Structure 1
Amino acid sequence: MTPPTPRRYAGLSSDQRSALRRESLMEAGMELFAASGNRGATMTAICAQAKLTERYFYESFSSRDELLEKILDGIADEVRDAGLAALRASDGTLEQRVRDAIASFVTILTDDPRKGRVAMIESAAYEPLRTHRRAVLHGFAQMVADEATQMYGDRAWPPRQGQINGLLFVGGLAELVTAWLNKEIDISPEEIVEAATYQFTSTAHH
């Protein structure tokens, strides 16, 4: 017996409508968390911003904190995918590929400052996101160390030193972007990219 075809509304299946609601909630969460931090990004406010009821919130997320973690993870995935694509491009010098990878990180967090504020500022100000953010940064530091080993081969630092350098690099770049987002430093995103490129290419090998 052929299973019944799922009902569609406005041309969308139930799963497609559920995915759109989830996307609307995440967009609303990012908007409110970036604008007013933990206190402003309540579940009630997120639902109101997304024009959805709490019933639909619980369809996708078990809690407000889970939604905020998923938003942070989504930004991290976007940055990671763009950076690795740039590093593994088949054209360009090694330094150019490093610059492009760093530029992708800086561009994602400065072209849409909401993403920058969520990833760099608001997530650092609120537990449990602070712990989650720290784990994400450590993951990026390890990725930097691994990619340096791939790029520099015998000239790369041994694993322990590479991990230290990776954390110093990622932490320093995060602080620089944070200072830019907070308007604490008179520097352009392009200058951040150039400074970080010089830092990485100068310290990622011996």
Structure 2
Amino acid sequence: MAVRAGVYRGVSAADRVAERRTRLLAAGLTIWADPGVRTTMTAVCAEAGLSERYFYESFTGLDALLEAVMNDIAAEIETTSRRAAEAAEGGPAERVHAAVRAFVELLLDDPRKGRVAIVESVAVPKLRQRRTELLRYLAHQSAIEAQRLLGARVDEVAGLLFIGGMAELVTAWLDGTVDATADEIVAAASRALLGLYDT
């Protein structure tokens, strides 16, 4: 029986590339979030169990990998928060609370994501602009969600104020300079968002 081109042990070449990319992204998150390890392509490849040849199959360099890690985290924050709001029972305040809780629980489940996206990305000069772009994108989405959930007008300034404040709060929380429980963080952030869009 002829072997299909590009298929090895029943897995296509495209699927193998995608699986290696996923491993590199996971390794990048692990290495980047570890303050005791220098973030290098060699360290990422070692963590992923892949050679540098496979690294370049998916990424042009280390910065491209780290940017992809940031993009994935931002997309997960957006998707997780929106789904929680849509699934919540009750009125607008309950939906806002559910969205904020989903975000905080995401960070509790994997603190590396908050540290990488909000804290560590500032230390990489080539990623600072991307961090700013992602925060502004999330601010815009926050303003749109406030319109959908609360009937508020789309206020970009309020959105940026909320997301910027959340970024600073999460940074202090992850660093241990703010002593608060997850419930307290959720309650304070929910009050802030509702207050900013109080109509």
Could you tell me which of 71, 79, 82 is aligned with 1:81? 79
Could you tell me which of 94, 99, 102 is aligned with 2:100? 102
Per-residue deviation, 1:139: 0.6
Which residue type is aligned with residue 201 of structure 1?
A: L
Relative to the length of structure 1, the TM-score reads 0.89
Could you tell me which of 190, 193, 196 is aligned with 2:189? 196
Aligned to 2:8: 9
Could you tell me which of 156, 160, 164 is aligned with 1:163? 156
Which residue type is aligned with residue 95 of structure 1?
A: A
Per-residue deviation, 1:23: 1.0
Give SS of 1:91's match.
coil
Which residue type is aligned with residue 122 of structure 1?
A: E
Separation of aligned partners in 2, 1:151 and 1:111 = 26
Q: Percent identity?
A: 43
Post-superposition CA distance 1:147-181 (Å, at most 9, x none):
2122333xx24x4xx11111111111111111111
Per-residue deviation, 1:97: 0.9
Contact kept in structure 1, 2:88 and 2:98, CA below 8 Å: no
Per-residue deviation, 1:127: 1.5
Aligned to 1:128: 126
Post-superposition CA distance 1:67-95 (Å, at most 9, x none):
00000000111110111112333732211
Separation of aligned partners in 1, 2:128 and 2:6 = 42
RMSD: 1.9
Which residue type is aligned with residue 145 of structure 1?
A: A
Identify unmatched segments of 5+ residues in structure 1: none
Matches within 5 A, 1:111-122: 111-122=109-120
Per-residue deviation, 1:4: 6.8
Identify unmatched segments of 5+ residues in structure 2: none
Separation of aligned partners in 2, 1:177 and 1:93 = 26
